Structure 1
C-alpha cells in the first residue's frame, strides 16, 4: 500500500470511528469510498473475520514502526487518535514530497541547461580556438582537482549508504540523527514516536519495568525492541537512565525529567502524550521551513556552477585568444 493510499484509508477510518462507527463498519464504508483499495481492504476484513486484531490485519501494508504504533494504540483504546495522526502524517509527507519535486524542477532544469552549455563550448568552441592557436587548450589543474574531489565524494557517499543499509536499525537511526539538515527532522520524528507510544503503554496501567519487558517481546528488527534491549543491558550494568538518554542523540532530554521525578505511571503517560502532541506540531513546522530552503540552496549551487564554467572554460579561451595576438 502506497503512502497516499494508507493516508486516505487511515484518515477515513479515523473520521468514521470518531462519529461512532465500529471498525468493521468503517472498513465496509471504506470499501465503497476507496475503490482503488478494495483488494487491500478485503484482505484486512478477512483477517478481522478470522479474529485477528486490526494491527495484524494491516501489518503487511505498513512498515514495522507504523505497525507497532497501531498495535499499541489498538491495545490501549487510542486507535482513532493514532489513525488520525498517521493519516495526517502520511498525507502531509506526500504533499511535502510533491512540494520538493516542484521546487527542484526549475533549478534542475537550469543546471541541465548549464551542463549542455558546458559540453557545447568544450566540443564546438574550444577545438576551433585550438586549431587557430595550434596549441591544445587544457582544463586547468584545479579543474581536474575539483572533478576528482567530486568523484571521490560520490564514491564515499555511495559506499557509506551501502554500509549504513547493513547496520542494525537502531544504529541507522543514531547515525541519521547526526546528519546535517535531515538529522533534526529525524530527532523530532523519533521524539514524537517514542513519546506517544510510551505514553499509551503507561496509560494502560503498566509500570516502566513492565513496558520494558513488553517491548523486548517485539520483533528484533523494530527500533522499540532494539532500544529496549539496549536499555535493559544498560540498567543491568548499574547505570542510570540519564546516561542512557545522553548516549542516544535522538532521545529527547525530557525523558530524563519524566521518568526520574517519581511521578505515577498515569501522570508520566499524560506528560508524554502532551509532549508527543507538541512535538508532532514542531515536526511539520520544521519540515516546512526546510522545504523553503531547497530552492535558495539550489540557486546557490547554480551560481557556483556558473562561476565554475567561467573559470574552467572562458579562462582557457582567453589564453587561447591571447596566443593569437
Structure 2
C-alpha cells in the first residue's frame, strides 16, 4: 500500500486496490475501510490487526507526516518475516522427517531389540543394567522438575516485570537476543526520528509518549527519561542501562547538533539497524538446519552405543 501512496493514490483508493489484488485479506481490508469511513485514523483502524509497537509507530508517523516512509519500512519488515517463515518451513522439512523416522526407529529398538539384548546378559549384568536405568530415570525426573520450576519462576518474574525489563531480558537471550536488540533499536530510533523531524524538543516528545498506553515501550521509556531529566542526570545513563537502546545514541546525543540534524542522524541509524536486522534473521535461518542435524547425529550415536555396549559386555562375559 505504501507504493500506491507514493505514486499518488489516495488512502481510500489504495485500500480498494489492495483488496482487489489480495483476496485472502479482503475481509480485513473491508473492516479497515469501514473504520476509516467512520472517521478513525489509519493507525486506529489497523490497531486490532497489528502489534502494539507497530500501532504506535504508525500513530506517530500519521500524526507527523511520515506515514508513507513508515508504511514502507513496516511493509518490508512484514514481507521479510513472511519470507523467513516460508524459508524456515522449507529448511525444516527434511530434518523433521529424519527426526520422525528416528523416533520410529527408537520405539522399534525399545520394543524389539533392547529386551532381546537384556536376555543375553547374565544376572549380574541385568542387575547393573536395572540400576543404571533407575539412576537415569531418577536423573531425568530431577532435571525435568528443575526445568519446570525454572520455567515457572521465569513466567512469574515475566508477569511482574515492566515492559522495559522484559525487553531487556529478551535482548540478553543467547542466539536470538541480537535480533531483538536490532529490532527494538530500529523501533526506538525510527520513532524518535519522526518526532525530531517535526522539530520537537525532548520535553515535547515526553509529553507525546506520555499519552500512550502504560503497557507500551515508548510510555515506559518516556517515564524513565522524565525521571532522569527531573533528577538532573544525563540521558546517556539511561542508554547504557538498557540493552535494547543502541549505544550509538550516546555519541549522537553528545554531538550538540540541532534537532533537525539529530533527527536526520537517527533516521540513518534506524535504516542501518533495520538492514542489520534483516541480515541477522537470514544468518539465524542458516544456522538452524545444521543445529538440527547435529542433534540427530547425537541421537544416532546414542542409539548405536545403547546397542553395541550390551553386546560388548555379553562377549566379555563369555570370554
| TM-score for the superposition, normalised by structure 1 | 0.88
Please give the secondary structure, in 2, of the residue aligned with 1:221: coil
Q: 1:156 to 1:302 in 2, by over 3 A?
A: farther
Please give the secondary structure, in 1, of the residue aligned with 2:270: helix
> Does the alignment pair 1:274 with 2:293?
no
Q: Which residue in 2 is equivalent to 1:305?
A: 299
CA drift at 1:247: 0.6
Structure 1 vs Structure 2 CA RMSD: 2.2
Question: In terms of mean alpha carbon deviation, does 38-47 or 192-201 score higher?
Answer: 38-47
| Long gaps (5+) in structure 2 | none
Contact 1:129 1:321 in 2 (8 A): no
Contact 2:197 2:263 in 1 (8 A): yes
CA drift at 1:150: 5.3
Q: 1:320 to 1:116 in 2, by over 3 A?
A: farther
CA drift at 1:116: 2.6
CA drift at 1:132: 3.9
| TM-score for the superposition, normalised by structure 2 | 0.90
Question: In terms of mean alpha carbon deviation, does 211-220 or 160-169 score higher?
Answer: 160-169
How many residue pairs align between the two structures? 313
Match of 2:290 among 290, 296, 315: 296
Q: 1:257 to 1:25 in 2, by over 3 A?
A: same
Q: Tell me how far apart the structure 2 counterparts of residues 113 and 146 of structure 1 sit (CA, whole Å).
A: 27
Q: Which residue in 2 is equivalent to 1:63?
A: 51
Contact 1:133 1:324 in 2 (8 A): no
Contact 1:47 1:57 in 2 (8 A): yes
Q: Which residue in 1 is equivalent to 2:105?
A: 117
Q: Which residue in 2 is equivalent to 1:235?
A: 229
CA drift at 1:205: 1.5
Contact 2:117 2:310 in 1 (8 A): no
Contact 2:121 2:310 in 1 (8 A): no
> Does the alignment pair 1:38 with 2:31?
no
> Does the alignment pair 1:24 with 2:17?
no
Question: In terms of mean alpha carbon deviation, does 305-314 or 291-300 score higher?
Answer: 305-314
> Does the alignment pair 1:106 with 2:94?
yes
Match of 1:52 among 30, 40, 51: 40
What are the within-5 Å matches in structure 2 for residues 150-189 of structure 1? 151-152=144-145, 154-156=147-149, 158-159=151-152, 162-163=155-156, 165-166=158-159, 167-189=161-183
Contact 1:140 1:312 in 2 (8 A): no
Please give the secondary structure, in 1, of the residue aligned with 2:83: helix
